[in-house]
């Protein structure tokens, strides 16, 4: 059985960069901490730390141990708050990861059914899909919204389902979207300034194929990882942009945007990915039920 106290001392020594600073932080004798780390090394059968100048550095074995220790003690730091919240019964916590490429406007619509939950504490993280799935597997997140399903990996024990397959619409500021542009859509995209999602988005390759099939060569004036930021720049007059029909229901927040046209054969997908624990989270279940309906 791994001695987690020994692992904790090793973790602190590594984060502090040496035994002396770790001893000061822990208010313990250097010799005591050093002896505990040696016990950990003996139990694991490998040297974890080596001298480096006035401090210490990790061996390759130490790097592997530190990576897991980091996960363990970060989770441990969350326990007091979660226990306090659970005991009080006053806070409904929901941690959602959103992959870089999905429409944040559409994500807001999907989360809207739970936003009126009393004492809701909503925590949203954005990042690469692989990073978010790792956080989900560690139970740092309750739900991940992504543009593609979870990869087949039995070690992660994740499940996913497609929540949305929404056609894409094009909007732009009144200064760019005139009646002639609407009548000539999609060919009008050849002379209008166009804003697009970056390659991080699962939608971008689909749009590129659609441009080619339609014989379009749009003048791209901006590329954005964040769809909400893209909509803000469009509303300020930079150009026209695509957004899923679901996300377009939130465009009332962006005054002055007009519908240019619809690309019904181009669709954005959003998948809900859960760990086993997330399968029973009441707010996650509420989000999924509303999306299915």
Phi, psi of 145 (to 5 degrees): -105, 120
Give pLDDT tens digits for 115-171.
Answer: 999 888 899 998 888 889 888 888 889 999 998 888 877 666 788 899 888 899 999
Is 65:48 a contact under the CB 8 Å cutoff?
yes
Residue 27, pLDDT > 80, answer yes
CB atoms within 10 A of CB 55: 15
Q: What is the mean pLDDT of residues 49-58?
A: 88
CA distance 238 to 240: 7
pLDDT band at 35 (very low <50, low <70, confident <90, very high): very high
Question: What pLDDT does 185 receive?
Answer: 95
Give pLDDT tens digits for 72-87.
Answer: 888 888 788 777 776 7
Is 156:186 a contact under the CB 8 Å cutoff?
no
Domain 90-163+271-292 fold = D-Maltodextrin-Binding Protein; domain 2 (3.40.190)
Is 28 exposed, middle or buried (CB count within 10 Å of its CB: 0-12, 13-18, 19+)?
middle
Nearest C-alpha neighbor of 141 from the set 74, 100, 95, 81: 95
pLDDT above 70 covers a percentage of the chain that reads 95
Average pLDDT, the chain: 88
Q: What are the residue boundaries of the structural domains of the chain, listed by start?
A: 4-85, 90-163+271-292, 166-268
Is 115 exposed, middle or buried (CB count within 10 Å of its CB: 0-12, 13-18, 19+)?
exposed
Domain 166-268 fold = D-Maltodextrin-Binding Protein; domain 2 (3.40.190)
Residue with tokens 């739970």: 114
Question: What pLDDT does 139 receive?
Answer: 84
Question: What pLDDT does 114 receive?
Answer: 93
Question: What pLDDT does 97 receive?
Answer: 92
Question: What pLDDT does 155 receive?
Answer: 66
Please give the biggest Cα pair distance in the chain: 81
Domains 4-85 and 90-163+271-292 share a fold: no
Give pLDDT tens digits for 217-231.
Answer: 999 999 998 877 888
End-to-end CA separation in angstroms for the chain: 48
CA distance 274 to 284: 9
Question: What pLDDT does 286 receive?
Answer: 92
Contacting residues for 259 by C-beta, under 8 A, at least 6 apart: 169, 170, 171, 177, 182
Question: What pLDDT does 245 receive?
Answer: 87
Question: What pLDDT does 210 receive?
Answer: 95
Q: What is the CATH number of domain 4-85?
A: 1.10.10.10
């Amino acid at each position: 059985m791994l001695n987690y106290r020994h692992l904790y001392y090793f973790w602190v020594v590594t984060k502090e960069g040496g035994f002396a600073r770790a001893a000061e932080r822990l208010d313990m004798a250097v010799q005591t901490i050093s002896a505990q780390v040696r016990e950990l090394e003996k139990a694991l059968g490998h040297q974890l730390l080596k001298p480096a100048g006035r401090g210490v550095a990790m061996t390759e074995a130490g790097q592997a141990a530190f990576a897991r220790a980091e996960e363990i003690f970060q989770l441990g730091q969350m326990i007091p708050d979660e226990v306090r919240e659970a005991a009080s019964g006053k806070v409904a916590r929901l941690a959602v990861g959103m992959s870089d490429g999905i429409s944040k406007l559409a994500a807001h619509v999907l989360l809207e059914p739970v936003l009126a939950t009393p004492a809701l504490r909503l925590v949203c993280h954005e990042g690469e899909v692989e990073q978010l799935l790792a956080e989900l597997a560690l139970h740092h997140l309750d739900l991940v919204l992504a543009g593609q399903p979870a990869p087949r990996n039995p070690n992660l024990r994740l499940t996913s389902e497609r929540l949305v397959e929404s056609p894409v619409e094009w909007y732009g500021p009144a200064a760019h979207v005139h009646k002639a542009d609407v009548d000539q859509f999609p060919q009008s995209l050849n002379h209008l300034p166009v804003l697009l999602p970056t390659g991080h988005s699962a939608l971008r390759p689909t749009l590129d194929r659609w441009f080619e099939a339609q014989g379009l060569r749009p003048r791209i004036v901006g590329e954005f990882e964040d769809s909400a930021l893209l909509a803000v720049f469009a509303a300020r007059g930079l150009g026209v942009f695509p957004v899923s029909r679901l996300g377009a229901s939130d465009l009332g927040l962006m005054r002055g945007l007009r519908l240019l046209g619809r690309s019904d054969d181009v669709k954005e997908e959003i998948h809900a990915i859960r760990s086993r624990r997330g399968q029973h989270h009441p707010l996650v279940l509420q989000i999924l039920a509303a999306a299915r309906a």
